[in-house]
Amino acid sequence: MASITFVQPDGSRSSVEVAPGTTIMQAATAHGVQGIVAECGGNAMCATCHVYVDPLFLDRLQAATEDEDALLDGAAAPRQPGSRLGCQVAVTNALDGLVVTMPDCQV
Amino acid sequence: MASTLVQSRPNGNDGLPSLDVDAFSDAFLADPFPTHAMLRDAGAVVWLPRYGIWSVARHAEVSAALNDWSRFRSGSGVGLANFARETPWRTPSLVLERDPPEHTRARAVLQRILSPAAMKRLRATFMAAAETLVGEVLARGTIDAVPDLAEAFPLSVFPDALGIGREGREHILPFANVVFNAFGPDNHLRRSALAEAAPHIAWVAEQCERATTSGFGAEIHEAAKTGAIAQDEAPLLIRSLFSAGVDTTVNGLAAALHCLARSPAQWAALRADPSLARAAFEEAVRLESPVQTFFRTTVSDVEFAGTTIPAQSKLLMFLGAANRDPRRWDAPDDYVITRQTTGHVGFGAGIHMCVGQLIARLEGECLLAVLARAVETIEPAGPPVRRLNNTLRGLKSLPVRLTPARNATR
């Protein structure tokens, strides 16, 4: 299992334990974590599962595809260096302890 | 020799659940839900002898089939007809009725044009159009919410976004009605739709050829100039926006208005927090599933959910049944605007998932948000009338009475 900590815009934190292979989006929606909408259900089409990945973990992630990159440009909240789509990042054992911050809006 | 015998189960599938239902009869289309429950309960994969096809109605299998394009193909058509054996009634769609790699290229063009960034640019215009329309209908009080809101709103924003002229827009909805009826069997709905189709098809074809100066149409012609798609593919790709861009949204909006008029508590919740407008639209898409069904075709024998589906079989996916599957949803038949709807298949799923889903949601959000701020109550003012279609679940008429909000926060 790998742990993910979600930080809400107000600073409140919650952690969930998920099996490797679970995406950040799936982890949040399955555990009722607020702040992810995931309208398209994980098909990389809507940019409503936008998260800010803690910079400490960025170099351990696979690079965003061209599609994800374009979608992030259209995300509702400002794009930052740690911006990713939660549905495109699956946790691995190497990402255990991952910290992601929710943007203040998704639509 | 004419025969009324029901076909038996396909060879080697003696234990396969089978149901003798006509999923395209008027009675079924008017109220599919009791039969959906029978289909879900019969098994993970159910043989439908009436048309000699396979079907899935549970959320798990519908979702799995949608996400498995390599085994469940679209290139042989997403209606009952198998293009490997039957000539399609029209040139197949570049996206809907194609598989990778051809699908990927055309799809990418549409996805870029209909991206979240593009929606940001449209939002203010759509919101202003919703304000204007709601102001007009509110002055009348009792309206027919199908033509006056559900049709009027998309027709006031989508053709402009597409970049077409004002003449002839009355062809748009009848054209889509033909396309969606044509996915069904050779029944009275399909026959009468095709019999009246010629003028609508001709008008749409003319619009698709025309190089518009702005909007999605112009962007598609531009993509052809840069080589992203072939020059002669541009009109066909624009046709997809006519087929799938308006009627589906009309039915989604009508569904949402119907749900809200029937559910005073949900309307009150939306009134109290108009930021729920987008969720209220989404939940209506789940509950009513404007697109009820699509087919896939196997190209080789497929092991699926404990069944072997032979090559060249048609698989009917009941999206509407999956969206009310009690195995997946709590209180599936209830309209609850705060529900977590992620994973519903009202827009499909996988590589063919509705490419216009963002513009549909934007339209739903704008109209419902403006209504929530300007309208105190929305109540039924007469019985709704269904419009039967082989694929779409929609309404022809929805009489409602609107009461203006006392302190409208416009």
Interface contact A41-B349, CB threshold 8 A = yes
**What pLDDT, on the 0 to 100 scale, is given for residue B8?**
60
- Judging contacts by C-beta atoms under 8 Å, the chain A residues touching residue B282 are 39
Torsion over CA: B307, B312, B316, B322 (sign): positive
Q: What pTM did the predictor assign?
A: 0.95
**What pLDDT, on the 0 to 100 scale, is given for residue B38?**
98
- Judging contacts by C-beta atoms under 8 Å, the chain B residues touching residue A32 are 340
**Helix B172-181 × helix B247-262 angle, to 10°:** 90
Interface contact A43-B120, CB threshold 8 A = no
Spatial separation of the C-alpha atoms in residues B9 and B382, rounded to whole Å: 45
Least confident of A32-36, A100-104, B12-16, B365-369: B12-16
Interface contact A74-B120, CB threshold 8 A = yes
Interface contact B350-A43, CB threshold 8 A = yes
Spatial separation of the C-alpha atoms in residues A102 and A77, rounded to whole Å: 10
DSSP A86: G
pLDDT digits (tens, 9 = 90+) for A52-93: 999 999 999 999 999 999 999 999 999 999 999 999 999 999
Q: Which of A91, A44, A35, A106 is nearest to A69 (CA)?
A: A44
- As for the ipTM of the complex, it is 0.89
What's the burial of A38, exposed, middle or buried (CB within 10 Å: 0-12/13-18/19+)? buried
Spatial separation of the C-alpha atoms in residues B29 and B31, rounded to whole Å: 5
**What pLDDT, on the 0 to 100 scale, is given for residue B4?**
39
From A48, which residue of chain B is nearest by alpha-carbon distance? B116
- Within an 8 Å CB–CB cutoff, is residue B330 touching chain A? no
Locus of tokens 């203010």? B124
**What pLDDT, on the 0 to 100 scale, is given for residue B3?**
37
**Tens-binned pLDDT, residue by residue, of chain B (410 aa):** 333 344 567 876 778 999 999 999 999 999 999 999 999 999 999 999 999 999 999 999 999 999 999 999 999 999 999 999 999 999 999 999 999 999 999 999 999 999 999 999 999 999 999 999 999 999 999 999 999 999 999 999 999 999 999 999 999 999 999 999 999 999 999 999 999 999 999 999 999 998 677 999 999 999 999 999 999 999 999 999 999 999 999 999 999 999 999 999 999 999 999 999 999 999 999 999 999 999 999 999 999 999 999 999 999 999 999 999 999 999 999 999 999 999 999 999 999 999 999 999 999 999 999 999 999 999 999 999 999 999 999 999 999 999 999 865 54
Residue A41 has pLDDT above 90, yes or no: yes
Mutation target vs A (from B119, B342, B358; most A CBs, 10 A cutoff) = B342
**What pLDDT, on the 0 to 100 scale, is given for residue B212?**
74
Least confident of A27-36, A92-101, B10-19: B10-19
**What pLDDT, on the 0 to 100 scale, is given for residue B406?**
85
**What pLDDT, on the 0 to 100 scale, is given for residue B1?**
36
- Judging contacts by C-beta atoms under 8 Å, the chain A residues touching residue B344 are 41
DSSP B20: -
Torsion over CA: B255, B253, B64, A63 (sign): negative
Spatial separation of the C-alpha atoms in residues B284 and B15, rounded to whole Å: 37
Spatial separation of the C-alpha atoms in residues B278 and B160, rounded to whole Å: 22
From B120, which residue of chain A is nearest by alpha-carbon distance? A74
**What pLDDT, on the 0 to 100 scale, is given for residue B35?**
98
Instruction: Report H helices in B141-210.
Output: 145, 152-162, 172-181, 188-195, 198-209
